[in-house]
Chain A
């Protein structure tokens, strides 16, 4: 029996990132109409949890921090096969950087039970800091590994292989531990229709900070975040593209001449 937790984040669908704009007046990001999804890496963390449960038996608890609407992504995680889900949703935890986010998740995890292994996506699609799993490990005072490409268990702990300079490195982690899973770790299985039907019957709680309790406000939300956001800039390319035209052979001539480095001022075709 393995008690497994999975941290997921509801993120704006990366397929729509081209549509994100910057409001020139308010300097805020405009992301209206972009649907929320479970981040890609988080899906692989869920799959890793399902595989560990298949092998060892056990229970999968999904936790998240986010707006009330993130309930939908938790429901989806239940439909993927998780057993129960908890969302902390509260203005008091909003505006958090990764240190405050990981603190909040550590409190939520502590409130919901004890775990042998806590899985998380290695990085979110939106912020992509890849900080939260490691920092969660620190708050919980347990082993953790990031950039994990394979995870399995033996009788002495959890075996993880993670990315390293010039290759991969294999470790055994003492449990409980936090493992940050990359999309390389597995192939996410198709949803089982029975799980989809069962999802709505499973436990799904949305809690405030007060519901979680025992939280230190100085570590929560914006006030508990040592890093702050300044201005946001849209990235615009400085390139001015010149289209090469003509027959394939003529285009090839131009390409070869650019490659040779003598065509920056070449004639327009």
Chain B
């Protein structure tokens, strides 16, 4: 049988034996794009060959799962992983190759692209097949604008996509057959001279309440300037069973020091049903991370604050007092 010449590959990054949520989003998008390209098919690529991840992805409507298994792939090292992906691409020649723009993807994708001398669109917010070419929608200038990036000649066409921004659920298999499992030759890794030595993994102190997956988020900006108002933000989130997030300017106030729940261009993109912005001014770098929220309420002292242009409901006033009143009503 002839190999399909137009495979759309999705890099299936795994953590603790499971593919990350962004992998599902990417497969859903790849399925959509594949629907528009005659003779194309979708495949997932797993390094390390985790069997739990393989069975997880086997239930999806994809043609193949490419695996590479080797001792050298046990811990992530960028040079080893990129060499493995380069080898697989050169052997199986996909037309497209998509990555989640995770910490790993943001390093592995450009490395692989440079090894292959091909183009890579970074941190895309959407991938659009227009019947002739794939337009990768890439935000720039802190999300003020979006550029179409396309890759006319080099192959594969590569793109990394921000986690949480595509949404979408991949189609499950309509038949009982499993995707074809292709095990790529890993023997070259035995002699691979890595310049990286993995020393240790330091898990973050945080619980698994990732803000990008939260349905309800209360977010603090620079306007949350008193201890009481910060308490109010946290109490409201707790009361609603939601997560607390913040803007970059809020980090500058010194009340929090980590970016794990920071919203925006260099932080997280939310997909919440309800977002309550408290004292957030609404710089473009922030609002590009809130575009997918369904209902947004914003409280700000300044009636001209940009945040209101990105909100369904606005309140001009003192955030501390208004949250006091809201918390009293909810008590």
Residues of A that sit less than 8 Å from B by CB: 12, 14, 17-18, 20, 22, 29, 97-99, 102, 123, 125-132, 134-135, 137-139, 142-147, 157, 159, 161-174, 177, 184, 225-235, 237, 239-244, 248-249, 251-256, 258-259
Cβ-closest chain B residue relative to A146: B107
CB distance from A120 to the nearest CB of B (A): 12
Q: For B274, list chain A residues within 8 Å (CB).
A: 259
| CB–CB B120/A98 < 8 A | yes
CA distance A50 to B284 in the complex (A): 32
| CB–CB B103/A164 < 8 A | yes
Q: For A161, list chain B residues within 8 Å (CB).
A: 202
Q: For B287, list chain A residues within 8 Å (CB).
A: 237
Q: Which of B51-59, B76-84, B164-172 contacts A (4 or more CB under 8 A)?
A: B76-84
Q: For B312, list chain A residues within 8 Å (CB).
A: 239-242
Q: Assuming A167-B202, A169-B200, what are 11 further A-B pairs, CB within 8 angstroms?
A: A17-B142, A126-B140, A147-B106, A162-B107, A165-B104, A228-B119, A235-B284, A235-B288, A251-B315, A254-B313, A259-B240
Cβ-closest chain A residue relative to B201: A169
Q: How many A-B residue pairs have CB under 8 A?
A: 248
| CB–CB A184/B145 < 8 A | no
- Tally chain B residues at the interface, Cβ within 8 Å: 88
Q: For B177, list chain A residues within 8 Å (CB).
A: none
Contacts A20-B145, A241-B314, A242-B313 given: A252-B328 contact, CB under 8 Å? yes
* 28 examples of A-B residue contacts, CB within 8 angstroms: A14-B142, A17-B142, A18-B284, A20-B145, A97-B119, A99-B117, A126-B141, A128-B122, A128-B266, A129-B138, A138-B82, A146-B110, A147-B107, A165-B102, A168-B204, A171-B198, A171-B199, A172-B199, A177-B195, A226-B119, A226-B153, A228-B119, A232-B148, A235-B145, A241-B312, A248-B317, A248-B324, A255-B326
Cβ-closest chain A residue relative to B153: A226
CA distance A165 to B17 in the complex (A): 13
**B121 lies within 8 A of chain A by Cβ:** yes
Q: Which has the most chain A C-beta neighbours within 10 Å: B195, B203, B315?
A: B195
| CB–CB B151/A227 < 8 A | yes
Q: Which has the most chain B C-beta neighbours within 10 Å: A123, A226, A232, A244?
A: A226
**B247 lies within 8 A of chain A by Cβ:** no
CB distance from A140 to the nearest CB of B (A): 10
Contacts A169-B201, A241-B309 given: A144-B148 contact, CB under 8 Å? no
| CB–CB B329/A256 < 8 A | yes
Q: For B291, list chain A residues within 8 Å (CB).
A: 235, 237
CA distance A29 to B286 in the complex (A): 20
Q: For A157, list chain B residues within 8 Å (CB).
A: 197
| CB–CB A142/B313 < 8 A | no
CA distance A98 to B117 in the complex (A): 11
Cβ-closest chain A residue relative to B259: A184
| CB–CB B115/A129 < 8 A | no
CA distance A177 to B113 in the complex (A): 19
| CB–CB A244/B202 < 8 A | no
CA distance A229 to B297 in the complex (A): 35
Q: For B107, list chain A residues within 8 Å (CB).
A: 134, 145-147, 162
**B321 lies within 8 A of chain A by Cβ:** yes
Cβ-closest chain A residue relative to B195: A143
